[in-house]
A and B are shown apart, each in its own frame.
Chain A
Amino acid sequence: MDFNLFHELLLKTGVIHLTVGHVFMWFVGFLFIYLAIKKDFEPLLLVPIGFSIFLVNMPIAPLTGPNELIGLFFRYGLETEIVPCLIFLGIGALTDFGPMIANPKTLLLGASAQLGVYIAFFGSIVFGFTVKEAASIGIIGGADGPTTIYLATALAPHMIGMVAIAAYSYMSMVPLIQPPIMKLLTTEKERKIRMKQLRPVSKTEKIVFPLVATIVICLLVPDAAPLMGIFMIGNLFKECKVVDRLLKTSQNDLLNIVTIVLGISVGATMKAEIFLKPQPIFIFILGLFAFAFSTVGGVLLAKIMNLFLKEKINPLIGSAGVSAVPMAARVSERVGAEADPKNHLLMHAMGPNVAGVIGTAVAAGMFLSMLK
């Protein structure tokens, strides 16, 4: 009798159910935590994601079922698309559109840097993914985590975890992925191009911009409205200067809360039985291609624009057209400073950088309007 009870208890421990796959995923979780703490790669996201990977690979722990803690985070936060949109509210409240308003042609760099989205989209079809899955993988090239999750939730919910992990991993590796491509595509002379200082942008322009952008985007691509609308509300909070409490909440507390929910929910999708298959490996390869080609698209369009412009632009700012704000802009600044230490490109690169956020959301909206 006692032996039976002991046997039953033993069966209810995780030890009996532990597999090599679980242990392997623990190491993946450790790797994320290591990269976040030691290498400072997107720590705000990789710490919760890494620990969540570690946690959900504790066998038979009641965490991710439909009525279990992380399962509820996932259902109400991600599946309802609330979390990606609330993150956009915070990002909007932190974004300064000034450099883009001062030099609106940089919006085009934000469009060309979506090239990788479509290259990876075709690549995914070659690897045997469906059109909807391919769109969810391709959008990784936009380097925008919330948009990637938003699109994957709508088109390929079974892939949210894999694409989100790929997107955030590569976003944190922007400083490693982009510089070699930027140097390969530009000459020393081009990297030394100095750009004219940006004109000051008035308060009126900054207040009116979120309204104008909402009209244009929501009328042309209604499916991008949940992301762009909330993004622009956040930005209006910042620029109008009369809702300080709402601004502070959007920028800090709310953003931090939804980041925790996002990190834990995304990490929880990386269970050994789901993740240790060839599919995620293909997604990671395609995500890398997406990032690389988005960088190529941005730099090449900047070079093409220079053929027609009187005042040349430094093609290094083109690579900032992938969203990854403000990391991609910092990479442009750093690579530019290597060629000419007195050349500061940061503010110029912020234009295409924030344009990239809009570009990726529009690309996602286009996918949704055609495939949903």
Chain B
Amino acid sequence: MWAEATRVASIGFAGVFFVLIILTISVKIMSFFCKLIDKKGGKK
């Protein structure tokens, strides 16, 4: 049981960090492109 618990906790906590790091990077990329789109829209 302890082996399973350790596996679940370590993978789980690492997984939460991994997903949120990917989301952080995605938000950065999203903001970059949104600013680009907004700039182009502004010029028109």
A216 at the interface (CB under 8 A from B): yes
Bound together, the chains give a CA A355 to CA B19 distance in angstroms of: 11
Distance, CA A112 to CA B20, complexed state (A): 10
Q: Can you list 28 A-B pairs with a CB-CB distance of less than 8 A?
A: A104-B23, A104-B28, A108-B24, A111-B20, A114-B16, A118-B12, A121-B9, A122-B5, A134-B5, A204-B34, A205-B31, A209-B27, A209-B30, A212-B30, A213-B26, A216-B19, A216-B22, A216-B23, A216-B26, A217-B19, A220-B22, A221-B19, A362-B20, A363-B16, A366-B11, A370-B7, A370-B8, A370-B11
8 closest A-B pairs by CB: A104-B27, A111-B20, A366-B12, A204-B34, A205-B34, A118-B9, A366-B15, A104-B24
Q: Range of interface residues on chain A?
A: 35 or more
Contacts of B5 in A (CB 8 A): 121-122, 125, 131, 134
Q: How far is it, in angstroms, between the C-alpha of A202 and the C-alpha of B16 when the chains are bound?
A: 28
In the complex where A122-B5, A131-B1, A370-B11 touch, is A358 in contact with B20 (Cβ < 8 A)? yes
Q: Give the interface centre of B19, B24, B34 by most chain A CB atoms within 10 Å.
A: B19
Task: Known A-B contacts: A117-B12, A122-B9, A359-B16. Give 18 more (CB < 8 A).
Answer: A100-B27, A104-B23, A107-B20, A107-B24, A107-B27, A108-B24, A111-B21, A117-B13, A118-B12, A131-B1, A131-B5, A135-B8, A202-B34, A212-B27, A362-B19, A363-B16, A366-B12, A366-B15
- What string of 1s and 0s marks CB contacts (under 8 Å) between A102-120 and chain B? 0011011011101101100
Shortest Cβ gap from A254 to chain B (Å): 27
| Residues A116-154 near B (CB distance < 8 A) | 117-118, 121-122, 125, 130-131, 134-135
* Total residues of chain B contacting the partner, CB 8 A: 29
Question: A371 near B: Cβ within 8 Å?
Answer: yes
Q: A residues within 8 A CB of B38? A: 202, 204
A208 touches which of B2, B13, B24, B30 (Cβ 8 Å): B30
Q: Which residue numbers of B lie inside 8 Å of A, CB to CB?
A: 1-2, 4-5, 7-9, 11-13, 15-24, 26-28, 30-31, 34-35, 37-38
Contacts of B31 in A (CB 8 A): 101, 104, 205
B23 touching A107 by the CB < 8 A rule? Answer: yes
Q: Are A108 and B12 in contact (CB under 8 A)?
A: no
Among candidates B4, B9, B16, B37, residue contacting A362 with C-beta atoms closer than 8 Å: B16
In the bound complex, do residue A217 and residue B16 qualify as a contact, i.e. CB atoms below 8 Å apart?
A: no
Asked whether any CB of chain B lies closer than 8 Å to the CB of A237, the reply is no
Interface membership of A41, Cβ < 8 A: no
Q: Please name the residue on chain B nearest to A369 by beta carbon.
A: B15
In the complex, what's the smallest C-beta–C-beta distance from B42 to chain A, in angstroms? Answer: 10
Q: Which residue of B lies closest to A213 (CB)?
A: B23
Residues of B within 8 A of A363 (CB): 12-13, 16
Report which residue of A111, A134, A358, A363 has the largest number of chain B beta carbons within 10 angstroms of its beta carbon. Answer: A111
CB-defined contacts of A202 to chain B, threshold 8 Å: 34-35, 38
Considering the chains assembled together, what is the distance between the CA atoms of A134 and B22 in angstroms?
A: 27
* CB of A289 closer than 8 Å to a CB of B: no
> For A212, what are the chain B residues with a Cβ–Cβ distance below 8 Å?
23, 26-27, 30
Smallest Cβ-Cβ distance to B36: which chain A residue: A204
Known: A118-B13, A131-B1. A110 touches B20 (CB 8 A): yes
Q: In the complex, are the beta carbons of A114 and B19 less than 8 A apart?
A: no
A367 within 8 A of B: yes
- Please give me the residue from chain B that is nearest to A124 by CB atom: B5
Chain B nearest CB, measured from A232 CB (Å): 12
Interface hits, A8-27 → B, CB 8 Å: none
Residues of B within 8 A of A112 (CB): 17
